[in-house]
Structures are given as C-alpha cells and as structure tokens.
Chain A
Amino acid sequence: MTGFEGATLAIDLLNITLLTLLFIIAIAIARLRSLFAIVMLSGIYSLISATWFVALDAVDVAFTEAAVGAGISTALFLSAMVLTARTAKPETGARRIVPLLVVIATGAVLIYATIDLPGFGDPNSPANTGVGTEFLARTYPEIAIPNVVTAVLASYRGFDTLGEVGVVFAAGLAVSLLLGFGERSLGASVRREDRLPTRSDEEEDV
C-alpha cells in the first residue's frame, strides 16, 4: 500500500476542484445575461467536464465531450446566436422561482438515487460482474480488435449506432428544412465579395 493512499487523496482533490469549477461556471451561466459569455462559458464547462471524465477513466466519453461539447456545440451556438439577440431578457416573478424549485427537487431525487448506486470502481457492481466482463472476455476471440468500446459500438451494438447516425442525419435534414441550406441567402453577398477588388464595379451598382 505504499503511496496508494496519497494517490487516492490526489484524485479526490482533483475531483473536488473540477466539480467546484463546474458548479461555479453553472451558477455564472445561470446569472449572466450576455449570450456570448454564456456560449463561451458552456464551452469551458464542457472542457472541464471532459477533464473530469478523464479523471474517472472514461476516456472515450471525455473525448466525445471535448469534441462535441466544447468544439462543435460552441461553434453552432455562436452561429445560432448571431441570428438572434445578443442578450437574454431578465426573468421576473414566478419565472425566476419555479425553475429553481424544479432544479432543487430534481437534484434531491438524483442525490437520493445515488445512495443505491455501487461505489466507484466496485468490483462487485453489476457493471463489473455481468455483461461488462462478458464483453471483455469475448471481444478479442470474436472480433480481435483491442478497443472494446469500438467493438461494442460498431459490432455488438451496430444497430444502435445506426440509429444514432440516423438521428444526426435527421438533425441536419431538419435544420436544412427549417433554415434553408444557407447557400441561397449567402449568394448575394458572395457575388458581391467576388467583385470587391474592382472599385468601378461597385460604383456602377450605386
């Protein structure tokens, strides 16, 4: 047991620090009215969550969170924000209180539910005794690739992943149907940009 307790303490401290940062950012997001700052803070929130997932040994989840949450969501939120106002209207009256009560109630229910959960990394938990060990034992003889996550995602649960790809595709389709493809609304400015270098051309337009 040489030094192991120290490592556990360090991991605990790291978890507490990261969760405190997440808490502070969440409060800041709830209190801010500037949408640009909120988008940036939610990107930072995702990045810190990803760090925390690494500390929990969930590298695949962390990677996805960093790429999707901190990367593309921030860009998409920014481009959506440009289409609307730059500040959120302050809420008044019951609209301030009711969401807080809902959040507190949900949080209390979730904390109550965690009492029944097995401890982190518990070798006797259902995840580590049932289907998890089954996949670990079967993946290499059956599929022969080292990354069990990829094997489960692409082969054992290929149909599930097909559904996810369908969802992503449908999201792209839905945005296109609602907002258009973007190229037609951009067309006019693209044509003008093409002509920018020649000054005389613009004067003709005016």
Chain B
Amino acid sequence: MKRDHHVILRVVAKALIPVISLYGFYVHFHGEYSPGGGFQAGVILAVSVILYSLIFGIAPAMRAVTPGFARFIAGLGFIIYVGVGFWALAMGGNFLEYDALFREEPGGHFGQHFGIIAIEIGVLFAVAGSMLTIYYGFAGRVSEIRDEDW
C-alpha cells in the first residue's frame, strides 16, 4: 500500500460530509419557511456523495451508494411526482390539484401542505438520483482509460 498523502483532506472531509448531508435534509424540510426546496436539497445530497468519491475514491462511493440505487431513486422521484398528480385526478380534481387530494372543505390547507411536501420529496429523489447517475456515468469510465490492460 502506498502512503496516504491526503490525510488532512480525508480527516476534514470525514467531519464535513455528514454535516453537508444533514444540511441537505434541512434545506429540504425547511423549504416552506426559507429559501430552498427539493432541487437544492437534492443537489446538496448528491454533492455530499460526490465529495466522498472525490476524496476516498469512486469505488468506495459506489459501494456506499450504489449506481443502481441512484438510478432507482431518480425514477422513483419522478413517479412520486406524477403519482401525486394522478392521485388528484382519481379524487376528482385536476392534475396536481392538491386541494382535491383529501376532498377537503374549502379553506382546508392539509391537502396543499401534503401535496407540496410529497412532490418536493419526488423532486429531491429525482434530482439527487439523476445527478449521481450523471456523475457515476462520467467518473466510472476514468479507470477504463488509466488501466492499460483493457
């Protein structure tokens, strides 16, 4: 094994990466009250994994968050979003009409809150999964070039 030249970088990153992930979730669940939402939170979560892979190598990152899982949540997020839309249709409203989700009386806001949080989770999954898939697509090819034995 060669000696580790990046020990300070690794130690700092180990402390920072959980904070970045946690901040991503904060941005997501605080989106009602402050700037941010599913898009930004998804990007921040993806960045925390990408930072891990930049510092500890792509293979450990792929073992921690597998490319299959990234693809799965990318598709799942989009399905959640569309699903909320069809749920509203099934309950007799228009596509994505959150007021219709629970057939509330006028003036009730639970459907709106639920709908917004549900589609934001869809956005979070789709963005984080897609960004990781793109990154893995690029980064996964690198060793193919470096290794001469292919």
Give A residues with C-beta under 8 Å from B: 59-60, 62-64, 67-68, 71-72, 75-76, 78-80, 82-83, 142-147, 149-151, 153-155, 158-159, 161-162, 164-166, 168-169, 171-173, 175-176, 178-186, 188-190, 193, 196-197
A67 touching B40, Cβ below 8 Å: yes
Other A-B pairs, 17, CB within 8 Å; known A75-B54, A183-B68: A67-B43, A82-B142, A83-B141, A150-B31, A162-B85, A165-B123, A169-B74, A173-B130, A176-B133, A179-B141, A180-B140, A181-B67, A188-B143, A189-B147, A190-B59, A190-B62, A196-B1
Contact A67 B47 (CB under 8 A): yes
Q: Given A172-B131, A189-B147, A190-B59 in contact, is the A158-B119 Cβ separation under 8 Å?
A: yes
Contacts of B82 in A (CB 8 A): 162
B109 at the interface (CB under 8 A from A): yes
- Interface-central residue, B33, B43, B54, B98, by most chain A CB under 10 Å: B43
Q: Does B22 have its Cβ within 8 Å of any Cβ on chain A?
A: no
Listed from nearest, the 3 A-B pairs whose CB atoms lie closest are A182-B140, A172-B130, A79-B138
Q: Let me know if A83 and B47 touch, CB within 8 A.
A: no
Q: When the two chains form the complex, which single residue of B46, B47, B130, B140 contacts A183, counting CB atoms closer than 8 Å?
A: B140
- Cα–Cα, bound, A171→B51 (Å): 21
A-B contact count (CB 8 A): 190
Judged by a CB distance under 8 angstroms, whether B127 is at the interface is yes
Say yes or no: A186 contacts B47, CB within 8 Å: no
Is B78 in the interface zone, CB < 8 Å from A? Answer: yes
Chain B, range 31-67, C-beta contacts under 8 Å to A: 31-37, 39-40, 43-44, 46-47, 50-51, 54, 57-59, 62-63, 66-67
Query: Are A182 and B35 within 8 A (Cβ)?
Result: no
Main secondary structure of the interface of B (DSSP, over half): helix
Which residues 11-43 of B have a CB within 8 angstroms of A?
27, 31-37, 39-40, 43
Query: Which B residues from 81 to 95 make CB contacts under 8 A with A?
Result: 81-82, 85, 95
